[in-house]
Amino acid sequence: MRGSVDAVELAGPRTKNLEAVPARTRVAKNGTPEIVFGPGALGDVGTCALRCGARRPFLVTDPGLIEAGWIAEAVGHLRLSGLRPVVWHDITPNPKDHEVEAAYAAYRDSACDLVIGLGGGSCIDAAKSVAILAGNGGRILDYEGVDRVTRPLPVTMMVPSTSGTGSDVTQFAVITDTVHLVKAVIISEAVVPDISIIDPRLLTTMPEWLNAATGLDALTHGIESFVSRAHSPLTDRRALDAVRLVARHLDRTMDRPEEAGSRMAMAQGALEAGMAFTSAILGATHAMSHQVGGLLDAPHGVINGVLLPHVIRFNARVDPGRYVPLAAAAGVDVGRCSPEDAAYLLADKVERLADAVGVPSGLRAVGLTEEAIPRLAATTLKDACMATNPRQATQADVERLFREAL
């Protein structure tokens, strides 16, 4: 698995866990795609695909991106480069296992040779999953877990249209298991895209609720990767910068959606958060959010925005020190604070930001009921993101967190 989790094995037989190895001395890996960043970057999609040897790209997207006009622009650039793209748009939020497998069948039948994901995290995760099946066969849920993708993938290129998921630069793909109503997390170095094209213009057509949700997702990535048991100096700088950018600019993008400077800042914040968590992994917020999203098909970033303050306070009761620089990056005055106070002020800051951008105060608003909590807590403990949460949690702990967040 990409990231300094692997360093436990490299450090020698006496190393029993990550806490035994100071973060600054661990071996750290941070693989990222080639990144094309800036207004107008979408214009490079054709030349990048041609340079990769493509002749027939398979473009995975959704109806909203077609309506916004970005697919017509992308297809135009691809055709100007002499390519013959195939567009697949039957993808819904929280992409489903059967949607991915239908998309792969279309990829295979069309004799395509490159996969492009243009859209939010759902489109990008679906595109990654099509590439996984193209290179490895089988069913997409066969690859749930760590390092189960063993064969090379076709070239993949991602074009994010939201400022939050970071999936365009990570080794993660998250797909909904529609039989068990949980989210399956796939983690593999092979899943890291080859190219990420980040054009902040695409962010201007997000609906307001999606802008809020994906921005809070990026904030959660930055905070959870910084306190992760697998953090390293390589991830720390990116995580702190992501928190600083999102905390300063998310609410401005809500009030002034056409303001170029804030859109650039949010695009950069989402990118840096993704580059941090692809190596550091995440924590309990994401482990819990995956379960709620799988059960209720609810927006991932909204769930994170509700859960994150509760998880910050839970973790800080054991070791609040890592939250001090995070609080400072988020704009909290920590000069005279104890570490505990800084952590709690950060949690309060996240709650105020979530409230300001319109996220509900509790999970009942997305349909969660008390009766579902024991089941969700049990599956949370099996989620890969729990392995790097800074505080060990029991089933009772997770149930309590869910109830606090109701």
Query: What sign for the dihedral angle of Cα 160, 165, 170, 174?
Result: negative
Residue 341 makes CB contacts below 8 A (sequence gap 6+) with none
Report the alpha-carbon distance of residue 125 to residue 46 in Å, rounded.
Answer: 21
Q: How far apart are CA 302 and CA 313, in angstroms?
A: 19
**Confidence tier at 32 by pLDDT (50, 70, 90):** confident
CB atoms within 10 A of CB 184: 21
Whether the pLDDT of residue 7 is over 80: the answer is no
Digit-coded pLDDT (tens) for 109-166: 999 999 999 999 999 999 999 999 999 999 999 999 999 999 999 999 999 999 999 9
Q: Residue 24's pLDDT is what?
A: 54
Q: Which domains does the chain have, with CATH numbers?
A: 34-204 (3.40.50.1970), 207-405 (1.20.1090.10)
Task: Give yes or no for a contact between 253 and 203, defined as CB atoms under 8 angstroms apart.
Answer: yes
Q: Are the CB atoms for 282 and 221 separated by under 8 Å?
A: yes
Overall average pLDDT of the 81-100 stretch: 97
pLDDT digits (tens, 9 = 90+) for 273-320: 999 999 999 999 999 999 999 999 999 999 999 999 999 999 999 999
pTM assigned to the model: 0.92
The share of the chain scoring above pLDDT 90, in percent, equals 92
Structure confidence at residue 61 (pLDDT):
98
Tell me the pairing of strands 182-187 and 172-177: antiparallel
Averaged pLDDT of the chain? 93
More confident residue, 360 or 26: 360
d(CA 59, CA 158): 9
**CB-based contacts of 35: which residues, under 8 Å, 6+ apart?**
169, 195, 196, 198, 271
pLDDT of residue 11: 34
